[in-house]
Chains A and B, each alone.
Chain A
Amino acid sequence: MLLRLEALSKRFGRDWVIRDLSLSLDRGEVVALLGPNGSGKTTLLRLMAGLLKPTRGRVERQGHALFLPNPPAFHRHLTAREHLLFDLAFHGAAGDWEGALKRFGLPAELPLAAFSSGMKKRLALARLTLLRPDLWLLDEPETALDQEGRALLQETIREARKGASVVLATHDRALAEAVADRAVWLGAA
């Protein structure tokens, strides 16, 4: 079991965003989180990552989790090469960053200030393929991607599941049907 949520609840102020949610995830599984805006998809991903503490319930996680926010976060004054090299070294990982940039069709030496939203999303995916976490937590990964980018995203998720698990929050039912083993519907709290 890579991830287990037990009666998980999260409240911001007086508003319950998530109530008594239980879920478990095995290695190799892909789960899609679906639901309208404000239904708690991003909050749930952040709880799974350990970036938020639950108000009630438990999150049990084994292995290393990485969270891809929407939009992805990068320093605008660094180039893609500098970002990936820093991330690899900071995470104590090794990988072919040049190959990853080539695969995702990204320039190595351009500052990220000059990247479009879609290019940043591609870079975030390239980063995840290099860091190889056990648990991929993707928040609306399809946003800002073009057709080619979406195909790359699906391919990346299918590859990731060979050694890891993926949870993606999405509004794109077609993407969820294409890559996920099961979907969790979060209604407005």
Chain B
Amino acid sequence: MWLLALRDLRLEVRDRAGLLSVLAFLGVTLFTMALALGPEEAPLRRAAPGVLWVALAFLSTLLSTRAFALEVEEGTLEDLLLAPGGKEWIYFGKLLFQMLLLLPLSLLALFLAAGLFYLPLEKGLPLFLTLALGTLGYASVATFYAGLLSRLRGREALLPLLLFSLVVPVVLASVRATAGLLEGLPLEEVASWWQLLLVFDAVYVTASALLFPLVMDG
């Protein structure tokens, strides 16, 4: 799992174009939304959690497509499928690769959003926990669908259609938890959203790992 994730990370860093496009997308989305909603502080702060999670959702979708595009463009997916051992390790490797990129990118997005949307960052650690739980839930489903669609034409159009219906609970819970933390709600009140995210993460990761070998078979 680590082998595959670290190899993909190396490929992504050496390719540069993919990573740069992801970074550019993140920056442009946040700046555009800040320009569109600003300059008053109150509407910017109110919209910030939603904007942040829309940006992260699209970011995760882009990265999940990249995770398999690396293999499909070069024709190396079949090599991975023919390796001994379960195909679920391919899923875990690809998911880990995305999380290794998503976690620092989520932090970057949070700092950018803090600057553009007047966000207080006193609850840095709980905010990071929310980002981690939310991105894991989103990426777990995105990775599964990206793998499922990797050998189909029109996958870029199909992926968001299939994905967004399933990840609505994760996005909602993430937005609510983020908004609660930014509004200064006590952690006990936010914890119920974290519990919900934890449950969705566990269900999505388990179900995806179980189904992945079946959908990649033949």
Query: Please, how many residues of chain B have a CB less than 8 angstroms from a CB on the other chain?
Result: 21
Q: Does B83 have its Cβ within 8 Å of any Cβ on chain A?
A: yes
**A50-B218, A90-B3 known; A77 vs B11 contact (CB < 8 Å):** yes
> Shortest beta-carbon distance, A84 to chain B, in Å?
12
State which of B14, B82, B85 has its C-beta within 8 Å of the C-beta of A49.
B82
> Shortest beta-carbon distance, B82 to chain A, in Å?
6
Interface residues of B in 42-88 (CB under 8 A from A): 70, 74-76, 78-85
CB pair B75–A69 under 8 Å, yes or no, is: yes
> Shortest beta-carbon distance, A128 to chain B, in Å?
11
Interface string of B82-110 (1 = CB under 8 A from A): 11110000000000000000000000000
* Top 6 A-B residue pairs of the complex, sorted by shortest distance between their CB atoms: A73-B75, A53-B218, A77-B14, A73-B76, A91-B83, A75-B74
State which of B10, B76, B85 has its C-beta within 8 Å of the C-beta of A74.
B76
Interface string of A69-102 (1 = CB under 8 A from B): 1000111111000100011011110000000000
> Shortest beta-carbon distance, A10 to chain B, in Å?
11
* A90–B71 CA distance with the chains assembled, in angstroms: 15
Interface string of B7-29 (1 = CB under 8 A from A): 10011001100000000000000
Q: Does B4 have its Cβ within 8 Å of any Cβ on chain A?
A: yes
| Cβ-closest chain B residue relative to A46 | B78
* A66–B185 CA distance with the chains assembled, in angstroms: 57
* A74–B15 CA distance with the chains assembled, in angstroms: 14
Q: A86 contacts which chain B residues (CB < 8 A)?
A: 3, 7
* A51–B3 CA distance with the chains assembled, in angstroms: 23
**Most-contacted residue by chain A among B4, B70, B218 (CB, 10 A):** B218
Give chain B's interface residues, CB within 8 Å of chain A. 3-4, 7, 10-11, 14-15, 70, 74-76, 78-85, 217-218
State which of B7, B75, B84 has its C-beta within 8 Å of the C-beta of A64.
B84
CB pair B84–A92 under 8 Å, yes or no, is: yes
* A74–B79 CA distance with the chains assembled, in angstroms: 9
Interface residues on A, range: 20 to 34
Q: A53 contacts which chain B residues (CB < 8 A)?
A: 217-218
What are 5 A-B interface contacts by the 8 Å CB criterion?
A50-B217, A51-B78, A77-B11, A77-B14, A92-B85
| Cβ-closest chain B residue relative to A71 | B75
Q: A91 contacts which chain B residues (CB < 8 A)?
A: 83-84
CB pair B82–A74 under 8 Å, yes or no, is: no
CB pair A90–B4 under 8 Å, yes or no, is: yes
> Shortest beta-carbon distance, A83 to chain B, in Å?
9
State which of B14, B70, B82 has its C-beta within 8 Å of the C-beta of A66.
B82
* A56–B76 CA distance with the chains assembled, in angstroms: 27
* A51–B76 CA distance with the chains assembled, in angstroms: 12
CB pair B11–A51 under 8 Å, yes or no, is: no
> Shortest beta-carbon distance, A120 to chain B, in Å?
11
Q: B218 contacts which chain A residues (CB < 8 A)?
A: 50-53
| Cβ-closest chain A residue relative to B77 | A73
CB pair B11–A90 under 8 Å, yes or no, is: no
| Cβ-closest chain B residue relative to A87 | B79
CB pair A51–B14 under 8 Å, yes or no, is: no
* A92–B86 CA distance with the chains assembled, in angstroms: 12
Q: A67 contacts which chain B residues (CB < 8 A)?
A: 78, 82
CB pair B70–A75 under 8 Å, yes or no, is: yes
